Amino acid sequence: MSDATEFLLPDVGEGIAEAELVEWLVGVGDTVAADQAIVVVETDKSQVELPAPVAGTVMQLGAAVGDVVEVGALLTRIATGSMGSSGSAAQPVRRRALASPSVRKRALRLGVDLADVVGTGPRGRVLAADLDTVEGAPTPEPAPEPVVTPASGKDDKVVELHGVRRQVARSMTEALRIPHITEFREVDATALLAAREALRPRLERDGLRLTMLPLLVRVCAWALARHPSMNARFDAENERLTQCGSVGLGIATATDDGLIVPVLHDADRRSLRDTVSELDRLVEAARARTARPADLAAGSCTLSNFGSLGTWLGTPVIRPPEVAIIGFGRVTEKVVAVDGVPVVRPVLPVVAATDHRVNDGAHLAALVGDLAAVVEQPLLLLDEN
């Protein structure tokens, strides 16, 4: 006889309704310890290892790899008492090494068992550098390419969407239901670039690297704090707009798994030094898939840095329930008129879009006007009114 504990999918993030099952770390008949990682799930926000709630023997797996499981649905059933008088007891499962998804992918390519690698990170986490120290790691032979004669003269490949890419597809489908209005503008970035050069040595003394992104974050935070209807979330079902008391600025981050948007909370209340440090942490965590749920909680607006991709500019898409998104392109030198005289100046492309259900063209023009003003006159960042 035995007692059984049902392990249901918990809410692994703020407001998560479902998650995709990525990997089972145990099988039926395996014995597990309490708090031992037994399954990996992935949401649109992060990849999470879930621990066993109790010690016991795995009786049932409630879902297969690739399944999308709703919060509250059965993941596994674990027997916590005696399973009877069988001749041999199930052997404990060897604990899985702690590592980020990118490190796991690299280890798989190298043919390295992470359980055999001594991790030097926190709690023994295996880092990318730890794989470099593995001696004699075998490189798997490439599989021979199959010879196929296509019937139609084309080699078609069907790719199933999983994990982040699946969630991005769903989110963008929902986003395109928003009636966007968009404004583009080119702004003289001479003063902003001069400010970066003046501030850079001071931050470098503290080991911080000042790129354009932290300055653009400060620009957005300053402008959004002055436009409550842009720094907001819209509940379309109840036709209710929530104007946020602080700026939670999402940072659109390209990763190997898809677009992830960590949120810099209280962006309008942070110092430049704190902004630089926290941005570094958030972007690194997003790319390594180690971001905390709080890092991915809902923001109030999103910043898309097209310039970091070498792009002049792009058309940003609002992420519901937010009502605005701001983008910046690559700075280029252009001939502009200054007091009637043609001169060459660095020009920063700016774009902003808003939800036309809650904002009009005049609101958008006012926001872009403030963005342009603070780019051209960074001293406005000292204005707290």
Residue 303 lies in a domain: yes
Last residue of a domain, one of 96, 114, 147: 96
Mark whether 176 and 311 lie in a shared domain.
Answer: yes
Residues 227 and 360 in one domain: yes
CATH number of the domain at 279, please: 3.30.559.10
| Crossing angle of the two packed helices 190-204 and 361-376, in degrees rounded to 10 | 60
Q: Are residues 289 and 373 in the same domain?
A: yes
Asked if 222 and 365 sit in the same domain, the reply is: yes
Question: Cβ-count burial of 140 within 10 angstroms (0-12 exposed, 13-18 middle, 19+ buried)?
Answer: exposed
Helices (H), 159-288: 163-175, 190-204, 212-224, 272-288
181: tokens are 């209005």
At 263 the pLDDT is 96
Last residue of one domain, picked from the residues 96, 125, 150: 96
pLDDT at 304: 97
Residue 14 lies in a domain: yes
Q: For the chain, what is the domain count?
A: 2
Position 126 in a domain: no
Any domain includes 33:
yes
- pLDDT tens string 92-138: 444 556 666 567 667 777 888 777 788 776 556 677 777 777 755 55
Q: Are residues 173 and 92 part of one domain?
A: no
- Supply φ then ψ for residue 194, to 5 degrees: -65, -40
Residue 137, both tokens: 């790691």
Identify whether 58 is part of a domain. Answer: yes
256, 350: one domain: yes
Asked if 369 and 225 sit in the same domain, the reply is yes
pLDDT at 319: 93
- Contact (Cβ atoms closer than 8 angstroms) between residue 178 and residue 320: yes
Digit-by-digit pLDDT tens for the chain (385 residues) are 568 899 999 987 656 778 888 889 999 999 999 989 999 888 766 778 899 999 999 999 999 988 888 889 999 999 987 554 444 444 444 455 666 656 766 777 788 877 778 877 655 667 777 777 775 555 555 555 555 555 555 789 888 887 778 878 888 888 889 999 999 999 999 999 999 999 999 999 999 999 999 999 999 999 999 999 999 999 988 999 999 999 999 999 998 888 899 999 999 999 999 999 999 999 999 998 888 888 988 899 999 999 998 889 999 999 999 999 999 999 999 999 989 999 999 999 999 999 999 999 999 999 999 999 999 999 998 876 5
Residue reference for tokens 């109840």: 238
End position of a domain, from candidates 56, 78, 96: 96
Check whether residue 212 and residue 68 sit in a common domain: no
pLDDT at residue 293, as a whole number: 83
My answer on whether 191 and 72 are in the same domain is: no
Q: Indicate if 90 and 194 belong to the same structural domain.
A: no
> Domain for residue 75, yes or no?
yes
Catalytic residues: 356, 360
Q: What pLDDT is recorded for position 243?
A: 97
Q: 89 and 203: one domain?
A: no
What local confidence, expressed as pLDDT, does residue 93 receive?
44
Q: What angle do CA 375, 265, 277 make, to 5 degrees?
A: 70
**Containing domain of residue 92, as a range?**
4-96
At 15, which CATH number? 2.40.50.100
Residues 92, 176: one domain?
Answer: no
Task: Convert 305-328 to b/e letters by CB count within 10 Å (16 or more is b).
Answer: bbbbeeeebeebbbbbbbbbbbbb
Closest alpha carbon to 25 in 94, 78, 74, 80: 94
Residue 105 lies in a domain: no
Answer yes or no: is 131 within a domain: no
List the beta bridge partners of residue 341. 338
CA distances from 308 to 48, 197, 218, 305 (A): 28, 18, 17, 6
pLDDT digits (tens, 9 = 90+) for 283-327: 999 998 888 888 988 899 999 999 998 889 999 999 999 999 999
